[in-house]
Amino acid sequence: MKRLYVTDDRVKLYLLKSKLEDHGIKCNIKNENPPLAGEIPSIVAWPELWVLDDERFHDAQNILKVDDIADRVSNEGWQCSQCAEYLEAAFNVCWKCGNSR
């Protein structure tokens, strides 16, 4: 069993776990519940995603790399093909002319 990913974002962790399981990679989440105030620093006990089968660890890393690339691309802005207005990634419709991404 190997640790693959650590984050304080539980939602992302569960999404990644689901994505890996869709590819047949069994995994487990540790430290799901945060420590009580004052026990230990919360960063020490952030939730962790662990791959149960060591032989599938590199497959899991590759899947997360592809996911990371998709996140970066989706965070880039875009230029409207109709009016050439530059828009932030959060917008799927041009505010100036109404054209869809």
In a domain, 81, yes or no: no
The SS3 of residue 59 is: helix
Tell whether pTM > 0.85: no
Cβ contacts of 74-78, under 8 Å, gap ≥ 24:
none
Q: The domain that contains 32 carries what CATH number?
A: 3.30.70
pLDDT of residue 93: 86
The vertex-32 CA angle with 28 and 33, nearest 5°, equals 160
How many structural domains comprise the chain? 1
Q: Measured between alpha carbons, how far apart are the two ends of the chain, in Å?
A: 42
Q: Which structural domain range is residue 67 located in?
A: 2-76
Lowest mean pLDDT among 14-18, 22-26, 76-80, 96-100: 76-80
